[in-house]
Amino acid sequence: MTKSELINRVAERLPYLTRKDAEIIVNTIFDSMVDALVDGDRIEIRGFGSFKVKNRGDREGRNPKTGETVRIPAKRMPFFKIGKELYERINQGTPSAAALQEGGEGL
Amino acid sequence: MTKADIVAAIYEKVGISKTESSDVVESVFEILKETLEKSEKVKISGFGTFMVKEKNSRKGRNPQTGDGITITARNVLTFKPSQVLKKRMNEGSENSA
């Protein structure tokens, strides 16, 4: 599913919205999430998951072609952790679903 | 940031009520969950890609007791940030190019 397919499905599901409204809504959701991550904020969407910004320090790497050592500069990366409800939903029918039923953590 | 902040942003931008804004945000995430539940990939340009991966069972160890255990087969969700998102998160640093 792409973003434009998501917009179509939102417009189909909520008949009081025009496709244009659905487009603005989907764009606003992801734009605000991008802004939060750019600001270094954590995002928590209950039932879906959370995003956290991690700083990765400078490290040394190697140019695989020449074997030369190069410095890879520090950068910020987003990390996603799945929420409990979504984890359970993508695991219906797997052995790990049974473990969850027994009260296991599963994550 | 939580769902409430997203609802507030929608309410300001779109001419719908607060209740409707909240319903709309719920619906968007519900559609995402339904799609991933079917193991269908979700690709949001400018944000990233969510993909369900199947993991086979494997041998592991309880890190506290050192006991050998079997980790059951399961599905995991991976998120791969888009180039645009990675670039925006690193603007202003020496790595922004």
CA–CA–CA angle A75, A81, A82 (5° rounding):
150
Q: What is the DSSP letter of B59?
A: E
- Judge: A86–B88 Cβ closer than 8 Å, yes or no: no
Average pLDDT over residues B62-90: 93
* A10-55 pLDDT per residue, tens: 999 999 999 999 999 999 999 999 999 999 999 999 999 999 999 9
Helix (H) or strand (E) holding A28: helix A19-38
**In 3D, which of B76, B32, B24 has the Cα closest to residue B54?**
B76
**In 3D, which of B56, B44, B41 has the Cα closest to residue B82?**
B44
Which of B37, B42, B74 to mutate: most A Cβ within 10 Å? Answer: B74
For domain A42-94, the question of CATH label 3.90.1300.10 is answered with no
CA–CA–CA angle B45, B12, A83 (5° rounding):
50
Could you state, in order of their start, the residue ranges of all structural domains in chain A?
1-36, 42-94
Q: Is residue A58 over pLDDT 90?
A: no
* Complex-level ipTM: 0.87
Q: Which of A13, A77, A90 sits opposite B31 (nearest CB)?
A: A13
Token pair recorded at residue A104: 């296991």
